[in-house]
């Protein structure tokens, strides 16, 4: 082999090794996706929020194979559970309210197993909107199926053009992350958690009493918010504070 060829091979090996080292410095973050009409989709805002906070985003398709789910658990450093349609009320022993629009069975069966296994693994997780609700239900909690008809319209929780205020428990991890006991957030939901599931506690509420954030109580990093920080493009500091907290927790959990 010519000296130039040997040199090229050595340089290539060095580059590959360097890239692998870099990839392990940055945590691998799985992001769930919406399953509908035999396809998966995801807002690019989630990808940007992870990548711009030094994580490597990996979109998780809806799968049925148990071994694939176990591989997700073993290989990923962190998990983002995204928003979407409603959880089947049968999952928390209720009849459906007329406003409920149930998610596809494939997504429900996949994420139900993924969330349960992920929580048992104790790895860092960030739940957004449905991700917060789904975690609560998997943990044994229940849901308010329709805020406007069952709670009222004091706060517009589907405020697509304006923010609404939340009050944060000063002793919570969320208060430390945001360095504040108040925030103004963007959300789009008509449901909310009611009875709180195992190993979870409420840490933020709106003026109408709706729980806007949950945290794990078992010592593992688990933050679940009802709003969409990745969509708050006019408040990047807020977005980055939440997503970087997930990334930092992933790096810490490796040690």
pLDDT above 60: residue 3: no
What was the pLDDT predicted at 5? Answer: 45
Q: Among this protein's residues, is 230 annotated catalytic?
A: yes
Point out the catalytic residue in the list 129, 189, 238, 250: 129
Q: Which one is catalytic: 189, 190, 228, 238?
A: 228
Nearest by Cα to 153 from 206, 106, 103, 110: 206
Domain that holds residue 49: 27-254
Query: According to the model, what pLDDT value does residue 70 have?
Result: 97
φ/ψ (deg, to 5) at 139:
-85, 5
Domain count of the chain? 1
Of 252, 250, 254, nearest to 57 (Cα)? 250
Residue 39 counted as domain residue: yes
The answer to whether 190 is a known catalytic residue is no
Is residue 230 within 8 Å of 55, Cβ to Cβ? Answer: no
Q: Tens digit of pLDDT for each residue in 241-252? A: 999 999 999 999
> What's phi and psi for 182, nearest 5 deg?
-140, 155
CA–CA distance, 211 with 168 (Å, rounded to integer): 10
Say if 208 falls within a structural domain. Answer: yes
Give me the half-sphere count of Cα atoms (radius 13 Å) on the Cβ side of residue 203.
25
Q: Of residues 111, 212, 215, 230, which has the active-site annotation?
A: 230
What is the mean pLDDT of the segment spanning 233-240? 94
How many CA atoms within 13 Å lie on the side-chain side of 144?
19
Is there a domain that residue 91 lies in? yes
Which pair of structure tokens corresponds to residue 201? 């506690």
Q: pLDDT class for 6, splitting at 50, 70, 90?
A: very low
Q: What percent of the chain has pLDDT over 90?
A: 84
- Residue 151 belongs to domain with CATH number: 3.40.50.880
**What are the tens digits of pLDDT across the range 109-151?**
999 999 999 999 999 999 999 999 999 999 999 999 999 999 9
The model's pTM: 0.90
In-domain check, residue 22: no
- Provide the pLDDT confidence category of residue 162 given band limits of 50, 70 and 90: confident
Tell me, what's the pLDDT at 228?
A: 96
Does 21 fall in a domain?
A: no
Q: Which of 134, 128, 133 is nearest to 192 (CA)?
A: 133
184 CB-near residues (< 8 Å, 6+ apart): 163, 164, 165, 166
Asked if residue 89 is part of any domain, the answer here is yes
Q: Are 253 and 124 in contact (CB under 8 A)?
A: yes
What pLDDT does residue 24 have? 62
Answer whether residue 210 is part of any domain: yes
92-113 tens-digit pLDDT: 999 999 999 999 999 999 999 9
pLDDT at 2 over 60: no
Helix axes 105-121, 130-138, angle to 10 degrees: 70
Coil, strand or helix at 90: helix
């Amino acid at each position: 082999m010519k000296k130039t060829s040997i040199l090229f091979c050595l340089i290539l090996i060095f580059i590959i090794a360097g890239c692998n080292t870099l990839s392990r410095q940055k945590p691998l973050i799985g992001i769930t996706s919406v399953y509908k009409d035999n396809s998966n989709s995801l807002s690019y805002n989630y990808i940007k929020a992870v990548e711009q906070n030094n994580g490597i985003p990996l979109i998780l398709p809806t799968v049925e194979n148990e071994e694939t789910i176990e591989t997700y658990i073993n290989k990923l450093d962190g998990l983002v559970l995204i928003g979407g349609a409603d959880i089947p009320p049968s999952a928390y022993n209720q009849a459906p309210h007329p406003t409920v629009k149930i998610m596809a069975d494939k997504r429900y069966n996949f994420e139900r197993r993924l969330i349960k296994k992920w929580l048992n693994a104790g790895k860092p997780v960030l739940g957004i909107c449905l991700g917060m609700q789904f975690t609560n239900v998997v943990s044994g909690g229940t849901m308010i199926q329709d805020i406007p008809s069952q709670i009222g319209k004091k706060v517009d929780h589907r405020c697509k053009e304006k923010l609404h205020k939340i009050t944060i428990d000063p002793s919570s991890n969320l208060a430390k992350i945001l360095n504040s006991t108040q925030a103004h957030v963007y959300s789009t939901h008509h449901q909310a958690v009611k009875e709180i599931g195992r190993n979870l506690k409420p840490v933020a509420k709106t003026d109408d009493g709706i729980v806007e954030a949950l945290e794990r109580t078992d010592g593992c990093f688990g933050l679940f918010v009802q709003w969409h920080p990745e969509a708050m493009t006019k408040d990047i500091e807020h977005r980055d504070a939440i997503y970087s907290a997930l990334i930092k927790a992933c790096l810490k959990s490796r040690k």
